A and B are shown apart, each in its own frame.
Chain A
């Protein structure tokens, strides 16, 4: 997030939500949004599904799945036509505006209405409202990114914010809510194939040399494999061994059968996990992991806020995860020894300029610190891009409409979209006795019109089949979803939704198109 969560209640005048269901996926952020809307902050919800916040919204743009770019281009088209763009911001802080203008030119309200299903009137109203509101925030999550055009969707959100000067100020910004407790931190720490911690490129000589000196070994400058590439390489025999920490790709990654086959092909697999997961079943060695309550450390939240994780009980497997990793690596002949996780943080911070000013003592004193924080007297940075973008000028990167990789057809007539529900998290909650005593099975959402045609009512079972796999699910009949759509979560191993999901990937990030796949439904 470019801006802090506290801006929702303290600063902003308009929340523009696209492809995000905060009251379920980020509940406390969602509750704050609802509170803000009720005290008069304007709310626009762009979502094919009737999510809870629709009931608080000034405008609900119920777009057809996979038409985010046409919608955003259409809003920008109106803003430019009506002269509502922020000319000073565009002139001083951005580049490539002419290309944006040229591309959105053809996205007339009429054409966009046809593509998205949103009325022309609503397009005008929302374009004017967003452009004319001084402080407006855009929020998105995986409804934007989990498409083959995910990167282009994100850029289109950024284009809209730059066009109207809604960046670099309190109450504004482009705010992706990160899905997992430490997905921000895992990226910040360099658990990515192209960067060291602090987003320092592995191909950048100075960054690599710095790490070579600190770690005392030569390092590769070749960008590594992304997850989908790893599994493809495993499938094809180039990757022979894997170490997997706290991930269950068989349940959570798209096209699960492909993942299973890839894991089968490995010569050696080590999994460090809390439970014997579907993925751990494929392991040659399993190392028992400690939960968050058994480890000291830090998590970094969606607004770049570094906070402490504190050990509350003795680790159930006998030792914390960092100790296990250190012992395993030391056994391989590379001594790795720390007295305490704070020493690991300090090593990382000494190598990462954007986090160099953060240490455990300061976190304890200040409760939390938001990076960038380059020095130990720096207060942290709640708002990004004030006065200047990280790259200098903000680059407009416009895009044409890119339809989903797989759309319903005669054989697979329903559109499957997936997501998270309030009561569950990707991996651990099914093991919570309390949670699973109430929410124990998939309840896929089907529109009443379709339910009638299929002859099912709430509680009945459906077989869902895609070109890649099948799953049995219970049905919840609800007009939360459009006719022709089935919406499923991916939490239950009894209904492995990701056996169905598309193998379409965003070509830049390798993110799967979890939001759109074609399926057929049969009553059983």
Chain B
């Protein structure tokens, strides 16, 4: 199916985009990034934050580019003085009711609000007034919710409804008291509908929703992100392990993940901490008189080699069997098969595909 292309002018450049695109999408296709807070390409458009306003020739208002469709011959300026002034005012309005504790905020470095304030030189707000004083919800081991930092972009509400379909988050009240919160406005832990997938955290542009394990552990720019594949279930989600000074401190979604984009489940996003369980085995153990005793690798290998050879010589190859693992890597499984076949001389190798 051929999609009709529409020609328009953005920032003095002739560009093309498929009919039906928004100005924001057309600009993105042309490599022009328009500032945005509520827009998220994986979620339905909302047009709430107004930060993506642009100037369109012949239009005396500044339309929100995330919800304004393109038309042929349209002339758009994404960074005109009027646009910059409008964005500055919008940011001042947003931070009028936002704690300016960026120096201790865990999201700084990955906070869009702070990034745009930096870009437009917004330090404080001319709109002094009442500020929220919501209690911080850290009722659960996974998510910290600080609604004082919420800018009502609705990304969490849309992620909960559109990505996970849990329908747990929605808006409550009107005006100054409007909040994006759980069903029944309870803490996350008391929320029956919450499945702790953390999609709300992954899409939040500010410090309103953050990963509890990252709290106080690292500035965002000090985190090394190592992309890997989830060790639970066969879906094959990818994510980034957040590493600081050789230690994993959390899981961060990666929009480039082929299967899942930023979607994860409670296990993938928050279940990784078994890695540091104090019960992890750290050295080989040999059972002596019914009790396990710590041994060196060489002692363990020597005993294994002796016993496996002894049993193979005495009873034959078929007296040996190996259980490989559906939780281990391909490479490890290949080696277990090779060991069983080439060294022990039997095809007695299996794994839990059938159990």
Partner-B contacts on A (CB < 8 A): 5-6, 23, 25-29, 31-32, 34-35, 38, 56, 177-194, 196-197, 202, 211, 215-217, 219-220, 222-228, 230, 233-234, 238-247, 249, 252-254, 267-268, 270, 273-276, 283-289, 291-303, 305-314, 316-318, 321-322, 324-329, 331-334, 336, 341, 344-345, 347-348, 367-368, 422-429, 431-435, 437-438, 509-512
Q: Which of A247, A275, A429 meets B352, CB within 8 Å?
A: A247
A302–B330 touching, CB < 8 Å: no
- Which chain B residues in 270-318 approach chain A with CB under 8 Å? 270-275, 277, 279-287, 292, 295, 297, 300-305, 307-309, 311-312, 315, 317-318
Complex CA distance for A286 and B319, rounded to whole angstroms: 20
Interface: B164 (CB within 8 A)? yes
Partner-A contacts on B (CB < 8 A): 140-142, 162-165, 189, 195-197, 213, 224, 226-238, 241, 243, 246-248, 256, 258-260, 263-268, 270-275, 277, 279-287, 292, 295, 297, 300-305, 307-309, 311-312, 315, 317-343, 345-355
CB pairs A–B below 8 angstroms (13 shown): A191-B350, A193-B348, A217-B343, A228-B355, A285-B287, A288-B284, A298-B331, A301-B235, A301-B259, A311-B226, A317-B280, A318-B282, A345-B334
- In the bound complex, residues from chain A placing their C-beta under 8 Å from that of B295 are 285
B231–A292 touching, CB < 8 Å: yes
Of chain B, the residue at the smallest CB distance from A38 is B165
| Contact (A180, B327) CB under 8 Å given A286-B285, A434-B270 | yes
- In the bound complex, residues from chain A placing their C-beta under 8 Å from that of B237 are 28
A34–B355 touching, CB < 8 Å: no
Q: Which of A190, A225, A228 meets B337, CB within 8 Å?
A: A190
- In the bound complex, residues from chain B placing their C-beta under 8 Å from that of A196 are 337, 341
- In the bound complex, residues from chain A placing their C-beta under 8 Å from that of B355 are 227-228, 249, 252-254, 510-512
| Contact (A432, B271) CB under 8 Å given A292-B231, A328-B305 | yes
A226–B354 touching, CB < 8 Å: yes
A179–B233 touching, CB < 8 Å: yes
The smallest C-beta distance from B283 to any residue of chain A, in angstroms, reads: 6
Of chain A, the residue at the smallest CB distance from B261 is A28
Of chain B, the residue at the smallest CB distance from A347 is B334
Q: Which of A38, A197, A270, A313 meets B304, CB within 8 Å?
A: A270
Of chain A, the residue at the smallest CB distance from B195 is A422
| Contact (A177, B353) CB under 8 Å given A242-B323, A309-B329, A331-B305 | no
A321–B328 touching, CB < 8 Å: yes
Q: Which of A298, A302, A422, A434 meets B273, CB within 8 Å?
A: A434
| Contact (A182, B326) CB under 8 Å given A332-B305, A425-B232 | yes
A283–B337 touching, CB < 8 Å: no
B163–A286 touching, CB < 8 Å: no
A186–B227 touching, CB < 8 Å: no
A26–B330 touching, CB < 8 Å: no
B271–A183 touching, CB < 8 Å: no
Complex CA distance for A285 and B305, rounded to whole angstroms: 11
Complex CA distance for A185 and B353, rounded to whole angstroms: 10
The smallest C-beta distance from B330 to any residue of chain A, in angstroms, reads: 4
- In the bound complex, residues from chain A placing their C-beta under 8 Å from that of B342 are 211, 215-217, 219, 334
A293–B329 touching, CB < 8 Å: no
- In the bound complex, residues from chain B placing their C-beta under 8 Å from that of A312 are 224, 226, 228, 241, 243, 248
Complex CA distance for A435 and B327, rounded to whole angstroms: 19
Of A211, A217, A435, chain B has the most CB atoms within 10 Å of the CB of A435
What secondary structure prevails in chain B residues at the interface with A? mixed
Complex CA distance for A368 and B260, rounded to whole angstroms: 13
Complex CA distance for A191 and B336, rounded to whole angstroms: 7
Q: Which of B197, B246, B300, B337 meets A285, CB within 8 Å?
A: B300
B280–A316 touching, CB < 8 Å: yes
- Could you list 17 further interchain pairs (A-B, Cβ under 8 angstroms) beyond the known A211-B342, A220-B345, A292-B327? A5-B259, A38-B165, A181-B236, A186-B353, A191-B351, A239-B321, A267-B307, A284-B307, A287-B284, A317-B283, A318-B282, A318-B283, A325-B339, A328-B305, A428-B231, A431-B277, A434-B142
Complex CA distance for A311 and B224, rounded to whole angstroms: 12
Complex CA distance for A23 and B207, rounded to whole angstroms: 28
- In the bound complex, residues from chain B placing their C-beta under 8 Å from that of A302 are 234-236
| Contact (A322, B142) CB under 8 Å given A181-B232, A226-B350, A253-B355 | no
| Contact (A242, B320) CB under 8 Å given A177-B234, A276-B279 | yes
B331–A345 touching, CB < 8 Å: yes
Of B213, B231, B237, chain A has the most CB atoms within 10 Å of the CB of B231
Of chain B, the residue at the smallest CB distance from A39 is B162
Q: Which of B259, B287, B297, B326 meets A283, CB within 8 Å?
A: B287
B354–A511 touching, CB < 8 Å: yes
B337–A35 touching, CB < 8 Å: no
Of chain B, the residue at the smallest CB distance from A428 is B274
B234–A178 touching, CB < 8 Å: yes
The smallest C-beta distance from A343 to any residue of chain B, in angstroms, reads: 9
| Contact (A227, B339) CB under 8 Å given A181-B230, A241-B308, A348-B334 | no
Q: Which of B195, B273, B330 meets A300, CB within 8 Å?
A: B330
Of chain B, the residue at the smallest CB distance from A243 is B322
The smallest C-beta distance from B137 to any residue of chain A, in angstroms, reads: 15
B323–A177 touching, CB < 8 Å: no
Complex CA distance for A201 and B322, rounded to whole angstroms: 18
A268–B307 touching, CB < 8 Å: yes
- In the bound complex, residues from chain B placing their C-beta under 8 Å from that of A230 are 321, 323, 348, 350
A422–B325 touching, CB < 8 Å: no
B324–A245 touching, CB < 8 Å: yes
Complex CA distance for A323 and B190, rounded to whole angstroms: 45
B247–A224 touching, CB < 8 Å: no
Of chain B, the residue at the smallest CB distance from A259 is B355
Complex CA distance for A26 and B197, rounded to whole angstroms: 12
The smallest C-beta distance from A334 to any residue of chain B, in angstroms, reads: 5
A191–B333 touching, CB < 8 Å: yes
B323–A182 touching, CB < 8 Å: no
Of chain A, the residue at the smallest CB distance from B277 is A431
Q: Which of A286, A288, A307 meets B236, CB within 8 Å?
A: A307
A227–B236 touching, CB < 8 Å: no
Of A306, A331, A336, A509, chain B has the most CB atoms within 10 Å of the CB of A331
The smallest C-beta distance from B61 to any residue of chain A, in angstroms, reads: 32
A233–B321 touching, CB < 8 Å: yes
- In the bound complex, residues from chain B placing their C-beta under 8 Å from that of A423 are 196, 266-267
Q: Which of A220, A345, A510 meets B330, CB within 8 Å?
A: A345
Complex CA distance for A219 and B338, rounded to whole angstroms: 10
The smallest C-beta distance from A349 to any residue of chain B, in angstroms, reads: 10
Of chain A, the residue at the smallest CB distance from B189 is A438
B234–A183 touching, CB < 8 Å: yes
Complex CA distance for A227 and B321, rounded to whole angstroms: 9
Q: Which of A56, A252, A253, A298 meets B329, CB within 8 Å?
A: A298
Complex CA distance for A194 and B346, rounded to whole angstroms: 11
- In the bound complex, residues from chain B placing their C-beta under 8 Å from that of A294 are 275
- In the bound complex, residues from chain A placing their C-beta under 8 Å from that of B337 are 189-191, 196-197
A28–B263 touching, CB < 8 Å: yes
The 7 A-B residue pairs with the shortest CB-CB distance in the complex, in nearest-first order: A301-B236, A297-B329, A224-B347, A246-B325, A27-B265, A178-B234, A191-B324
B256–A348 touching, CB < 8 Å: no
Complex CA distance for A185 and B332, rounded to whole angstroms: 10
Complex CA distance for A28 and B346, rounded to whole angstroms: 39
Of chain A, the residue at the smallest CB distance from B337 is A190
Complex CA distance for A457 and B136, rounded to whole angstroms: 34
B231–A183 touching, CB < 8 Å: no
Complex CA distance for A427 and B325, rounded to whole angstroms: 12
- In the bound complex, residues from chain B placing their C-beta under 8 Å from that of A32 are 263
B353–A332 touching, CB < 8 Å: no
| Contact (A247, B165) CB under 8 Å given A28-B235, A188-B330, A189-B333 | no
- In the bound complex, residues from chain B placing their C-beta under 8 Å from that of A219 are 341-342, 345
Of chain B, the residue at the smallest CB distance from A288 is B281
Complex CA distance for A425 and B230, rounded to whole angstroms: 12
Q: Which of B258, B277, B308, B321 meets A368, CB within 8 Å?
A: B258
B333–A186 touching, CB < 8 Å: yes
